[in-house]
A and B are shown apart, each in its own frame.
Chain A
Amino acid sequence: MQPRLEEESRLNLSYRPKKYIKKHGVAYLFMLPAIFFLIILFVLPFIEVFKMSFYSVNLLNPEAEAFIFLDNFISALSDPTFYQYLYQGLIWTFGSVIGEYIVGIVTAILLNQNIRGKTFFRAIIFIPWLVPIVVAAMTWRWILNPDFGIFNVMLVKVGILDESINWLGTAGTAMLAVIFVNVWRTFPFYTVTLLAGLQSIPKEILEAAEIDGAGIWQRFWYIILPSLKGVSAVIIILHVIWTFNNFDFIWLLTEGGPLHATETLAITTYLEAFEKYHFGQASALSSIMILILIGIIIAYFKVEKKQNNG
């Protein structure tokens, strides 16, 4: 009996690749264009950036180009401003993502109620996400303007402030202001995604919990939030990556100022590349940013796995 099984198994193995290609070949063929563009638009530039980070590349001094191995990395990591901009980048990223998630889940729960005109509200809440970043940033610059911005006027009239605050022009408030504007623009994405997640929770479970005496907070904490775990993980990870790498919103609002108070590593990288033309140094900074992001994501999955096992 045993030799026969072995023979069958051997035959199966020799048969498998052909069968596999026959079964999945078309799928791979259709994936080819996507793989091709992924290689052209992502893999090759990534390899080029990684390679350039080991070279001294200054467009203004092409003769000085040379292989310097880790010098760009050492130079970046030994600069005290690197840690300041990294810290500010993390504040910007997690401040934005936490704010967006809180506003997103609150609005999603509200829009999941049986209220009049909920379709209308669901449609208009998406507007900030649809506004082009440049338009949103320019508009908010005027809204937050200390001289004639409506935000200050309102706060002064209501009596919350005695006098206008230069939200974007004061080192102590600039980061808060850019995070606030970013939350305003991005929370609709969370709302819509979480709303889809909420609608997939069976009503019977919530009703049963209510009958068993669970209050609003208990239903939220023990039923709704765990049900949204999967979708929350996806949007949080995506937004951590997008926000940490985000350049345009801060640049349009403050250009990283005042006095570098809102400068993040993404802005430093841009300044190194397109103001100073130090492409080698900028590539090293980009590579470090990628490593930091990979580190954050691995840490997140490890914590999640630990929690699930626990």
Chain B
Amino acid sequence: MKLKRRYSLLVGFFLTSSLLLSACGSSGPSSSETNKSGTNNTKENSVEKQEKVVLDLWWSMSANNEEHKNHYAAIEKFNQEHPNIEVKPQSIPLEQAKDKIITSANAGNPPDVADVLNEWLVSYHRMGILPDLTEDINKWEEKEKIPQNIWDTLSVDGKIVAVPSELGIRAFLYHEDILKAAGVTEPPKTWDELLELSAKLKEQGVAPFGISGQSARAPQELIVYFWQSGTDIAHQMPDGKYRNLWAENPEELQKAVEVYKLYKTMLKDGVINKDSASWGYRELDTNFAQGRVATTVNGPWIKNYEAEQPESMKDVQIAAPPYNTVPATFMEVGSFATFEGSEHKKEAITFMTWWLSEETQKLVNPGRSPNTGVVQDGKWGEGFNKLLDQGRSFPGISMGGIIQPMIDSIQKSLLTEESPEEIALWLGEQINNSLKENGELSESPAK
């Protein structure tokens, strides 16, 4: 009996100790100390093995997705060409990546490279988790092949903080056959022409135009309407900080009001679906790809629907988005970033620039490349690339506290009786509140 008790005490002690040690002790070898086979390096290992660096890559590409096969093939190619670096990709949807990066970077354990959206960059920069890549990028021989407006989009306070990986320029997409059936041969160039076209399409019983009322797509669409109307959600002031001017500048306010008038008119006249306020990007893309919506403003990824919906997608054509007074479109720049806290910044930059090189881009992004050396013939390549000059992105402010009010403002215009002016003033106030909370609000008087 005594022996049994002693034995159980011993087992209990070992169990407890091993758990405590495994939790408290070193978290194992760092990625740079671990070779490909997963065994620890020792002094006996070869120099080559000791120098092998494992780069943790968090990206949105899924190994099971047919469209992403080339991306995984490119990683293998990189690993073969760089025997001292091994990129280990981990698939994380973009919706989750933003929070995961913040948590890991603030805990001092970020990935070496991650897929990021340009609207996150200012916030990440303010948190101090993005290193300045300007010097390294300036040394890169293919830098000039990337248009300056793309580098501007990926710069904060004049410093390049990310490297572009793919481009998502928005264009006006339309089903040519549906337009022809309504007697229209040319896509609309202005908002007025869009409304005229919609009236004809409606007569044919077709849903004329598709928009997004929620998800990340909605504020991207909204800001383009502001640009096309000649205003912006925040203007950079002489002191270098930002400010929304709608409450203090009637001319600017009027331009914003035009945007909400457009939303209300589109809903009232049946240009857009009555349920557009709850359409996210999935609903919008699917409805357009199936031909249930005749026209929309969308990105080059819509090409991927050709395989699923070959019949309804074959008449899709591409044009510049209709505008009010200023031609403009949204330029979504998918990019790679490395983080403060990563022990392998040098290797990360090697990987990111390799990915952006003309040779790799031909393999992974023939139709959506930020590298001007890669031009895909045909409508999908040329149709979007020719809009590069019109492409703009969010202003250089932290968008965290602004995205949701932008979505709310669209929903207010579609679901409530609030006037366009009330909505514009409300959004302007929300934007300035957010800028103030983040120390980005300019105190310079408006001109």
- A interface list, Cβ under 8 A from B: 25-26, 29-30, 32-33, 36-37, 40, 58-64, 145-147, 166, 168-169, 171, 254-255, 257-260, 271, 274-278
Contact = CB atoms under 8 A, between A and B. Distances in A.
Contacts, number: 99
B368 interface: no
A40 B213 CA distance: 42
A36 B19 contact: yes
A30 B278 contact: no
Interface stretch (B4-12, B229-237, B294-302, B321-329): B4-12
A26 B9 contact: yes
A189 to B, nearest CB: 26
B278 A59 contact: no
Contacts of A37: 23
Contact of B15 (A30, A61, A258, A260): A30
Contacts of B16: 29-30, 32-33
B15 A276 contact: no
Interface of B is mostly: helix
Contacts of B404: 271, 275
B200 interface: no
A271 B403 CA distance: 11
A22 to B, nearest CB: 9
Contact of B123 (A33, A168, A255, A277): A277
**For chain B, which range describes its interface: under 10, 10 to 19, 20 to 34, or 35 or more residues?**
35 or more
Q: Which of B401, B403, B408 has the most CB of A within 10 A?
A: B401
Nearest 6 Cβ contacts at the A-B interface: A169-B278, A29-B12, A60-B438, A60-B126, A166-B275, A33-B19
A274 B123 contact: no
A40 B23 contact: yes
Interface stretch (B146-154, B388-396, B411-419): B411-419
A276 B401 contact: yes
11 contacts: A25-B9, A26-B5, A26-B9, A30-B16, A37-B23, A40-B23, A58-B438, A257-B411, A259-B412, A271-B404, A277-B400
Interface of B: 5, 8-9, 12-13, 15-16, 19-20, 23, 98-99, 102, 106, 123, 126-128, 213-215, 273-275, 277-278, 283, 287, 292, 398, 400-401, 403-404, 407-408, 411-412, 415-416, 434, 437-439
B434 A276 contact: yes
Contacts of B411: 257-259
B403 A275 contact: yes
B439 A63 contact: yes
A91 B96 CA distance: 28
Contacts of B215: 255
Contacts of B98: 274
Nearest to A168: B278
Given A61-B438, A166-B275, A258-B415, A30 B126 contact: no
A33 B401 contact: no
Contact of B408 (A36, A259, A277): A259
Given A25-B9, A62-B128, A257-B278, 18 more contacts: A26-B8, A29-B9, A29-B12, A30-B15, A36-B19, A36-B23, A59-B126, A60-B123, A60-B400, A62-B127, A145-B283, A147-B287, A166-B274, A169-B278, A255-B214, A259-B408, A275-B401, A276-B401
A57 to B, nearest CB: 11
Contacts of A277: 102, 123, 127, 398, 400
B423 to A, nearest CB: 12
Contacts of B128: 62
Nearest to A254: B278
A36 B20 contact: yes
Contacts of B277: 169, 258
A259 B106 contact: no
B278 A61 contact: no
A59 B274 CA distance: 39
Nearest to A35: B16
A268 B283 CA distance: 25
Contact of B127 (A25, A59, A63, A258): A59
B99 A274 contact: yes
Given A147-B292, A258-B415, A259-B412, A29 B13 contact: yes
A62 B277 CA distance: 36
Q: Which of A36, A40, A276 has the most CB of B within 10 A?
A: A276
Contacts of B214: 255, 257-258
Contacts of B287: 147
Nearest to A33: B19
A104 B438 CA distance: 48
A60 B278 contact: no
A258 B400 contact: no
A64 B439 CA distance: 9
Contacts of A171: 415
Contacts of A64: 439
Given A147-B273, A276-B401, A33 B20 contact: yes
A166 B214 CA distance: 14
A151 B400 CA distance: 35
B8 to A, nearest CB: 6
Nearest to A257: B214
Contacts of A61: 126, 437-439
A274 B101 CA distance: 11
A194 B99 CA distance: 38
A115 to B, nearest CB: 41
B217 to A, nearest CB: 12
A303 B191 CA distance: 63
A274 B9 contact: no
Contacts of A145: 283
A30 to B, nearest CB: 5
Q: Which of A25, A40, A145, A169 has the most CB of B within 10 A?
A: A169
A36 B412 CA distance: 50
Nearest to B273: A147
B75 to A, nearest CB: 26
A18 B99 CA distance: 51
A6 B214 CA distance: 77
B400 A275 contact: yes
Q: Which of B13, B106, B277 has the most CB of A within 10 A?
A: B277
Contacts of B416: 259
B106 A59 contact: yes
A30 B434 contact: no
Contacts of A276: 400-401, 434, 437
A194 B408 CA distance: 43
Contacts of A147: 273, 275, 283, 287, 292
A25 B5 CA distance: 10
A212 B415 CA distance: 60
Contacts of B412: 259
Nearest to B125: A60
A26 B292 CA distance: 69
A145 B126 CA distance: 39
